Structure 1
């Protein structure tokens, strides 16, 4: 017959087993909860990284004059942070030249959608990237008053390109008004390559101040041509960017005669889509042209050219194969 002491021992053992069981269950719940939290944190971080990637890839299809990328990839910097990187280049009449790389941070809390590598420095007639000082070609707005001292000055760089012997040159050409694709083909000489088509601006802001990621237009094929399919895809990409809010925050402040003049990118892109229902009637306000320096002499004093601004250039080497 068991005495009281035996019952106490049994009770203590049972209590100890229950305590161990409780600790085990609590530990398992804690570990599972921790694992779930870590999984959620990883997924949020991954989502923010993909958000940066998707923004960059889409914007690369509708902006960035004559700027292409060779690759993109993620580099983790911790379990819950990383950096998105893309190597970029420009093509000058078939010759690839380097351009600023794109780097953007992402983490559990942020998705950095700002492309700071394209920020600009310069003066009233020239613009350079602020890291490696690559020269940016500038487009000018025919609706803006450039007579003011507090604004950029319209350049006519085509007249000086002839001095750039044995070089291939990139030039932003701003038209005196919008022209259709076919009209542009009739104006540009066959020995110059159209790399990019600019949609222009319906407002009065100074477009020369815009960074490449806020200049909208579409790339051409290697031969400088576009098709209706290209234009329809471009229009679709513009609408997607608007719907995702990628363009809505791009409001730039410029000045004219001491007064603030804003460039509302969202409004201007919407205006363009509204006025460009099809490829045949759509108009472009400028192009990026590339070619041998001597080929640009044909464009001197053309009345349909409002402005021309040199971008990057490269000395033509014997091993280079030019498109034109």
Structure 2
């Protein structure tokens, strides 16, 4: 080893153990380590946040979809036993934010093969659960020129809404639109709500109706408190006067029943069985919006029996459709206590 090489080695050792140089090297190492640690922490934080956002996003989406399906099940199942002769075209999602969403059901009525627009039904559901009606079945009243009594109309379609008269309730006025059918052109297509003089079995109803009219819907006896329908007395506030509130017929929006689907005589009870299955399905949906109503109806229909059978179903009225000339045959059905027109249309020639 020559002198030059020895000198270089000695200088390197001096530089290494020199206090100033050692501090500078240590500072660089520490700064570099801190920088790497900071970058690593930032990267890990970004990855964790992204994963958290993805997890929360999927959780939010899953929860909203679960509540959406639950809300749709609530609405569609309940509509199977309410709103006579009203059909749905399916849900349309018209709005959604972080915690709520809105569903609209486009609806129509079918009168002898002709669809007629009916008011949409709008519901809101939440990520926290629950469903509430936002819009639908809104109505207004106009006095009828013939009898001076108010008629209800659907706000959107401007078509008449039917009313029904319970056989156990006395009313100041009972409407019978059958006597007015002669005033319509014979080809006019219409629906009409019939109220009977007492409850009948579905089989009895099918037998008493003329063959020319189309049976669409049965008004079932689900009443556990008929007294609610009867007239009552109300004391006027800050007065000794008492006002008598007359009994009013049931508007079609607030009654229960089931569709009549064309069947042969051997399968006629399938209509009642479908109604029973709808009630049971509602009972299986514990926590649903209408669970309490399903439970009340089930207990009423079951009575003292272990289960509901088609023979337990009693009918208070029906909805039928046909032409004005066909429906005039109903005038001869003595079991009909009241009749009220709903939708009417004049077919295109």
Normalising by structure 2, report the TM-score: 0.76
Partner residue, 1:241: 282
Correspondence 1:1-324 to 2 at 5 A: 1=16, 3-78=22-97, 81-109=100-128, 111-114=130-133, 116-122=135-141, 125-147=150-172, 153-165=173-185, 166-202=187-223, 203-204=225-226, 205-206=228-229, 208-210=249-251, 212=253, 214-222=254-262, 227-244=268-285, 245-248=288-291, 267-268=296-297, 270-274=299-303, 277-280=308-311, 282-300=313-331, 302-318=333-349
Distance 1:208 1:115, change over 3 A: farther
Identify unmatched segments of 5+ residues in structure 2.
Answer: 1-15, 143-148, 230-247
Distance 1:169 1:192, change over 3 A: same
TM-superposed deviation, 1:31: 2.2
Rounded to whole Å, the distance in 2 between the matches of 1:158 and 1:46 is: 48
Partner residue, 1:255: none
TM-superposed deviation, 1:141: 1.5
Distance 1:105 1:277, change over 3 A: closer
Identify unmatched segments of 5+ residues in structure 1.
Answer: 148-152, 251-264, 319-324
Aligned length: 298
* Cα-Cα RMSD: 2.8
Distance 1:177 1:160, change over 3 A: same
Rounded to whole Å, the distance in 2 between the matches of 1:121 and 1:110 is: 32
TM-superposed deviation, 1:208: 3.2
Rounded to whole Å, the distance in 2 between the matches of 1:230 and 1:209 is: 23
Partner residue, 1:256: none
Rounded to whole Å, the distance in 2 between the matches of 1:141 and 1:26 is: 69
Rounded to whole Å, the distance in 1 between the matches of 2:73 and 2:119 is: 19
TM-superposed deviation, 1:290: 0.7
Is the 8 Å Cα contact of residues 56 and 113 (structure 1) preserved in structure 2?
A: no
Following TM superposition, the consecutive aligned residue runs of length 4 or more in structure 1 with deviations greater than 6 angstroms are 223-226
Q: Indicate the structure (1 or 2) with the bigger Cα radius of gyration.
A: 2
Normalising by structure 1, report the TM-score: 0.81
Rounded to whole Å, the distance in 1 between the matches of 2:151 and 2:289 is: 28
Is the 8 Å Cα contact of residues 212 and 326 (structure 2) preserved in structure 1?
A: yes
